[in-house]
Structure 1
Amino acid sequence: MTRYGLRARVITLTLAPTLIIGLLLSAIFSFNRYHDLERQVINSGLSIIEPLAIASEDGLKNNSRESVRRIIGYAHRKNSKFVRSIAVFDYNHDLFVTSNFHPNFESLTFPRNEPIPLLVTSNLNDNTLVLRAPIISESGIISSPRGQQNNPAMGYIAIELDLSSLRLQQYQEIFSAFLVLLTGLGLSGFFAMRLMHDVTRPISHMKNMVDRIRRGHLDVRIEGKMHGELDQLKNGINAMAVSLSEYHVEMQHSIDQATSDLRETLEQLEIQNVELDIAKKRAQEAARVKSEFLANMSHELRTPLNGVIGFTRQMLKTKLSNSQTDYLQTIEKSANNLLTIINDILDFSKLEAGKLALENIPFEFQETLEEVVSLQATSAHEKGLEITLKIDPKVPIGLVGDPLRIQQVLTNLVGNSIKFTERGNIDISVELRSQKEDVVELQFMVRDTGIGISERQQAQLFQAFSQADASISRRYGGTGLGLVITQKLVSQMGGEISLTSRLHQGSTFWFTLRLHATDMPMSELIESQVLNQRSLLLVEPNMQAASITRQTLAQQGLVVTYRSSMPDEVETFDYVLLNLAPNRSNEVGKVEKQVEQALLCAPHVVVGTPSTALALSDHLIQKYQIHCVTKPLSRKKLLQTLAANQESLPEIEIEIPINTETLPLTVMAVDDNPANLKLISALLDERVEHVITCTNGKDAVKQAEARHFDIILMDIQMPHMDGVTACNAIKKTTLNGNTPVIAVTAHAMSGERDRLLKAGMDDYLTKPIEEHVLQQVLMHWSPHTKEDELQKLTIPAQTEVIQQHLISEHSNMIIDWQAALKQSANKEDLAKEMLQMLLDYMPEVSSIVEQALENENFEVEQLIHHVHKLHGSCSYCGVPRLKNVCATIEKALRSGNTIEDIEPELFELQDEMEKVTASAQPYLVESES
Structure 2
Amino acid sequence: MKYLLVFSILICSFLYSQTKKSTDSLPILNQENVRLNDYDKIKYDEQLNAIAVLSLENEQQEYANKYSKLISILAIALISILSLLSLSLYKNNIIRTQSNLVLEEKNKELQIEKDKVEKASKARSEFLSTVSHELRTPLNAINGITHLLLEENPKPSQMEYLTSLEFSGKYLLTFINEMLEINRIESNTIEAEKIGFNLKKLVDNIKNSLKEIATTNNNSLNIDIDSKIPDNLIGDPIKISQIFMNLIYNALKFTKNGDVTVLVKQTATHENKTSVYFEIKDTGIGIEEGKQDTIFDSFSQGSVEINRKYGGTGLGLTIVKKLVAILGGEIKLKSVLGQGSVFSFNLEFEVDYSKPMPIIIKPKYNEKLLINKKVLLVEDNKINQMITKKMLENKKISCEIIGNGEDAVEVAKKNSFDLILMDVHLPGINGTIATQQIRKFDSTTPIIAITAISLEENREMLMSFGMNDVITKPFAPEDFYSVISKYI
Whether these two folds match at TM > 0.5 is yes
Distance of aligned partners of 1:468 and 1:425 in 2 relative to their CA distance in 1, 3 Å threshold:
same
From 407, 410, 432, give the equivalent of 2:241: 407
Which amino acid in 1 is paired with 2:422? M
What does residue 502 of structure 1 align with? 336
Whether contact under 8 Å (1:306, 1:915) holds in the other structure is: no
2:295 to 455, 461, 483: 461
2:246 is equivalent to residue 246 of structure 1: no
Alignment match, 2:365: 817
The aligned counterpart of 2:207 is 373
Kindly tell me: are residues 914 and 471 of structure 1, through their superposed partners in 2, closer, same or farther at Cα, counting changes over 3 Å?
closer
In structure 2, which of residues 157, 161, 166 is the aligned counterpart of residue 327 of structure 1? 161
Whether contact under 8 Å (2:264, 2:276) holds in the other structure is yes
Task: For residue 459 of structure 1, report the CA deviation from its aligned partner.
Answer: 0.9
Q: Give the C-alpha shift of residue 466 in structure 1.
A: 1.9
Aligned in 2, Cα 1:328/1:467: closer, same or farther, shift over 3 Å? same
How far 1:841 sits from its partner (Å)?
4.9
CA displacement at 1:517 relative to structure 2: 1.1
Superposed counterparts of 1:544-693, under 5 Å: none
Match of 1:889 among 446, 461, 474: 461
Partner in structure 2 of residue 416 of structure 1 = 250
Q: 1:914 to 1:454 in 2, by over 3 A?
A: closer
2-side partners of 1:828 and 1:324: how far apart? Answer: 30
Deviation at 1:424, TM superposition (A): 1.2
Separation in 1, partners of 2:478, 2:117: 39
Amino acid paired to 1:507: S
The CA deviation at 1:888 is: 2.4
- Structure 2 residue identity aligned to 1:444: F
Name which of 311, 319, 336 aligns with 1:485: 319
Question: CA–CA distance in 2 between the matches of 1:501 and 1:918?
Answer: 36
- Corresponding residue SS for 2:218: coil
Change (3 A) 1:415 1:518: same
What is the CA-CA distance between 1:275 and the residue it aligns to? 3.8
Q: Residue 914 and residue 426 in structure 1: after superposition, are their counterparts in 2 closer, same or farther (change >3 A)?
A: closer
For the structure 1 residues 506 and 259, does the alpha-carbon distance in structure 2 shift closer, same or farther, using more than 3 Å as the test? same
Asked whether the 8 Å contact 2:221–2:260 carries over to 1, the reply is: yes
1:261 aligns to 2:95 (yes or no): yes
Matched-pair contact (CA < 8 Å) for 2:191–2:326: no
Pick aligned residue for 1:354 from 188, 207, 219: 188
**Contact map agreement 1:303 1:911 (CA 8 A) in 2:** no
The structural deviation recorded for 1:245 is: 4.2
Q: Aligned AA for 1:889?
A: M
2:274 alignment partner, SS class: strand
* Structure 1 residue 478, shift from structure 2 partner: 2.0
Partner of 1:425: 259
Provide closer, same or farther for how the CA distance between residues 867 and 918 of structure 1 changes in structure 2, counting only shifts above 3 A: farther
1:291 and 2:125 correspond: yes
Secondary structure at the aligned position of 1:453 is classed as: coil
**By how many angstroms is 1:890 displaced?**
4.4
Among candidates 410, 413, 426, match of residue 847 of structure 1: 426
Q: Please say if residues 831 and 877 of structure 1, whose CA atoms lie closer than 8 Å, have aligned partners that are also in contact.
A: no
The C-alpha deviation readout for 1:377-403, integer Å capped at 9, x for no partner, is 211111110101111111111111111
Counterparts in 2 of 1:126-141, with a 5 A limit? none
Contact kept? 1:867, 1:886, Cα under 8 Å: no
The separation in 2 between residues aligned to 1:403 and 1:889, in whole angstroms, is: 20
Q: CA deviation at 1:886?
A: 6.5
Q: Scaled by the length of structure 1, what TM-score is found?
A: 0.37
SS of 2:206 mapped into structure 1: helix
Deviation at 1:913, TM superposition (A): 8.5
> Secondary structure at the residue paired with 2:104?
helix
Q: 1:516 Cα shift?
A: 0.9
- Counterpart position of 1:382: 216
User: Matches of 1:354 and 1:868 in 2, distance apart?
Assistant: 32
Letter of the 2:266 counterpart? L
- Tell me the CA shift for residue 265 of structure 1: 2.9
How far apart, CA to CA, are the structure 1 residues paired with 2:478 and 2:273?
42
- AA aligned opposite 1:378: E
Structure 1 alignment gaps of length 5 or more:
1-221, 523-799, 854-859, 895-907
The answer (yes or no) to whether the contact 1:846–1:910 under 8 Å persists in 2 is: no
Opposite residue 365 of structure 1, the aligned amino acid is L
Larger RCO (CA under 8 A, 6+ residues apart): 2
The question of whether the paired residues in 1 share the 8 Å contact of 2:139 and 2:474 is answered with no
Q: 1:701-724: per-residue Cα shift (whole Å, max 9, x none)?
A: xxxxxxxxxxxxxxxxxxxxxxxx
8 Å CA contact retained: 2:449, 2:462: no
Give, in whole Å, the separation in 2 of the partners of 1:867 and 1:502.
Answer: 60
Q: For residues 283 and 479 of structure 2, what CA distance do their matches in structure 1 show?
A: 41
Is 1:512 aligned to 2:346, yes or no? yes
- In structure 1, what is the Cα distance between the partners aligned to 2:117 and 2:210? 39
**Mapped partners of 1:251, 1:379: distance in 2:** 80
Give the 3-state SS of the residue equivalent to 1:842 in structure 2: strand
Residue 452 of structure 1 pairs with residue 286 of structure 2? yes
By how many angstroms is 1:416 displaced?
1.1
Cα deviation 1:32-67 (Å, max 9, x = unaligned) = xxxxxxxxxxxxxxxxxxxxxxxxxxxxxxxxxxxx
Give the C-alpha shift of residue 851 in structure 1: 5.3
d(CA) in 1 for partners of 2:201, 2:229: 13
Report deviation, 1:246.
3.1
Structure-2 residue corresponding to 1:151? none
Give the drift of 1:303. 1.9
Specify the structure having the higher radius of gyration (Cα).
1
**How far apart are 1:292 and its partner, in Å?**
1.5
**Structure 1 residues 253 and 326: alpha-carbon distance in aligned structure 2, compared to 1, 3 A threshold:** same
Question: Residues 289, 878 of structure 1: CA spacing in aligned structure 2 closer, same or farther, 3 A cutoff?
Answer: closer
- Is residue 309 of structure 1 aligned with residue 143 of structure 2? yes
Contact 1:868 1:886 in 2 (8 A): no
Counterpart in the other structure of 1:677: none
Structure 1 distance, partners of 2:277, 2:437, is 41
TM-score when normalising by structure 2: 0.66
Code of the residue aligned with 2:297 in structure 1: it is Q
Q: Tell me the percent identity.
A: 30
Structure 2, unaligned stretches of length 5 or more? 1-62, 377-396, 400-416
CA distance in 2, matches of 1:483, 1:386: 22
Provide the rounded CA distance (Å) in 1 between the counterparts of 2:117 and 2:178. 23
Aligned CA distance change for structure 1 residues 504 and 868 (closer, same or farther; 3 Å): farther
Offset, 1:452: 1.1
